[in-house]
Amino acid sequence: MSEKKPGRKPKRSVQHVQIPEPDYNANSINRKSDTLVYALGGLGEIGKNMYCYEHDDEIVIIDSGILFPEDELLGVDYVIPDYSYLVKNQAKIKALVITHGHEDHIGGIPFLLRAVHLKQVYAPRFAKALIAKKLEEHHLSRSCKIVEITEDSRIQTKHFSVGFFNTVHSIPDSLGVLINTPNGRIVHTGDFKFDLTPIGNNSDYQKMAYIGQIGVTLLMSDSTNSGVPGFSISEKKVAQAINEQMRKTPGRLLVSTFASNVLRLNQILEAAVACKRKVAVFGRSMENVMEIGKQMGVIKIPESSFISGNELNTLPANRICIVCTGSQGEPMAALSRIANGTHKYIKILPGDTVLFSSNPIPGNGTSVSAIVNQLTRVGANVVVNSPLTSFHTTGHAPQEEQKLMLQLIKPKYFMPIHGEYKMLVQHSATAQETGVPKENCFICSNGDIVVLRNETCFIANERVQTDAIYVDGNDASGLSTSVIKDRQILADNGLVAVIVTIDSRYNKILCRPTIVSRGFVFIKESQTLLKEAELLVYDALKKKMQQRTTFGELKNCIRSSLEPFLFQKTNRNPIVIPVILNQKDAMASIASKQTEHRTVNKQAEH
């Protein structure tokens, strides 16, 4: 081994070591330079649409909707997204943009405004009127400004430039959105269909084609009808079918449709006037939409054509048209009350015809069938939509129209939105048919982050916190979520209350506990079980009260001894509610001690 010479460094073989750059490509996020796209609601479900676009210190939100609850969500009024992430980052929020005025796109705005401060909401004309009405009902009219937007509007922030184009949907003033970001262009279609003979504004084919020509990095497109082949029928064809039915119906005609479909409502009213029928409108949501439709000039029927409920009996049957809510079998809607004979003004008469200008939304088929059966039972002639009648057309693009959108926009990457999981998968398959590579199609869940970087996209390995919040009344705190679990247990397993009387002065249980059951077991047939349970709790409490204890510990003792026993005997887990009654003299003793303690404390303070 050679000696090292003093003062000289040993020679080393030179190796060229490349220092790795920060690995942003392994699905990690650079929050300074990347553009993030994520949904807080609307993926894997039909409702609570809310899509966020984030770059550095700015967030643009598109839509803020609600989801109407399934039957198992007992007592829940609405389901809304979890706004926690937006609350933490509310300083970044630069704009809330609304595509159109349906509840699954605007219904969450009052709850969002209670959670975060927004200076303004951007919305098209009809949606603006609906939002203003909604904020007034929630006493939030002054909470933010509603700015009207059209297809020619522009919203400019430091990082985002947002533009719009007209689409056709089952509500007026529906817009698609173009978002220019530092990392590429995003097109968000909103809800759309293509109707070559529309009622109202036409789709902006030229603008969509131009956007496609200049290049789109990511397309986010409505997936509701991705399992439906072909093209949808035109709204004008529906108008002709309704007109024909109105003309040939000999008696009263009751028409039920979606309250929000103001263009359809106008067609029904125009057909009634053409057939010399007077119109009565029932259902709060429909009355609200009709009022706004009149203000907006969408409904132009003269006031003389409308009658009130009191005037229905003053006209011949063939001169009356009744328009009402309830086309989805909602139990409290006007049509349900008419079918059940509980409506204030309308009873079904022999010769009445009920027309459903709608299709059942998935999940509502059973409710709609029940209403149809009940209406038929009380003597109505019920007419529903079918391929032969054309009393309804969808507001969402089927497969061939989805392909047309994909061909116009020509995206590099594709993310299906607004649909259940199966719909997203089917829409992704349709995109691949039009030439989008499979690896460029992202089927995401709420909270997944799609990252745009230099006009490429990938799914990040991080997620945004998101959940469903259940709203009971106007409570959007999320506390209702735990209440729902209790309701579910009550519905499945029932309730057992254990009533115990004690004397806290002597730490003594005065008599055997009493057990009261509701919805758990049939009491007459389960006396032996309940007596065993009472003895079990009695023994457990006697042991517990041999040493000093608290009311909380006694309640836990009751639960921990009773719950396993009941499950072992019945295979059910009811809610166990301990009720501890303290003997009267003991309560008086406790009260006097507390008074004495407070007096001593006051004297000590002085």
Residues catalogued as catalytic? 222, 396
Yes or no: say if 260 and 288 are a contact pair by the CB < 8 Å rule. Answer: no
Yes or no: say if 219 and 409 are a contact pair by the CB < 8 Å rule. Answer: yes
Residues in the chain, overall count: 606
Distance (Å, rounded) from C-alpha 275 to C-alpha 316?
A: 13
Output 584-589 pairs: Cβ under 8 A, ≥24 positions apart: 585/503, 585/505, 586/502, 586/503, 586/504, 586/505, 589/505
Helix (H) / strand (E) containing 496 = strand 495-503
Yes or no: say if 515 and 532 are a contact pair by the CB < 8 Å rule. Answer: no
* Residue written as token pair 């459903």: 356
Helix (H) / strand (E) containing 377 = helix 365-377
3-state secondary structure 28-44: CCCCCCCEEEEEEECEC
Q: What's at 41, amino acid-wise?
A: G
Distance (Å, rounded) from C-alpha 104 to C-alpha 45?
A: 11
Chain-centroid distance, C-alpha 514: 44
What is the Cα gyration radius of the chain?
A: 32
Query: For residue 39, which of 418, 413, 471, 414 has the smallest C-alpha distance?
Result: 418
Answer positive or negative: Cα dihedral of 404, 407, 410, 411.
positive
Distance (Å, rounded) from C-alpha 495 to C-alpha 303?
A: 55
Answer positive or negative: Cα dihedral of 396, 400, 406, 407.
negative
Yes or no: say if 438 and 23 are a contact pair by the CB < 8 Å rule. Answer: no
Burial 584-593 (b: 16+ CB within 10 A, else e): eebeeeeeee
3-state secondary structure of 6: coil
Q: What are phi and psi of 356, to 5 degrees?
A: -95, 105
Q: What's at 557, amino acid-wise?
A: C
Burial 77-107 (b: 16+ CB within 10 A, else e): ebbbbbbbbbeebeeebbbbbbbbbbbbbbb
Distance (Å, rounded) from C-alpha 121 to C-alpha 62?
A: 10
Pairing outcome for strands 495-503 and 514-518: antiparallel
Distance (Å) of CA 364 to CA 61, 406, 506, 515, 525: 30, 31, 60, 41, 38
Pairing outcome for strands 353-356 and 93-97: unpaired
Please report how many Cα atoms fall inside a 13 Å half-sphere around the Cα of residue 33, on the Cβ side.
7
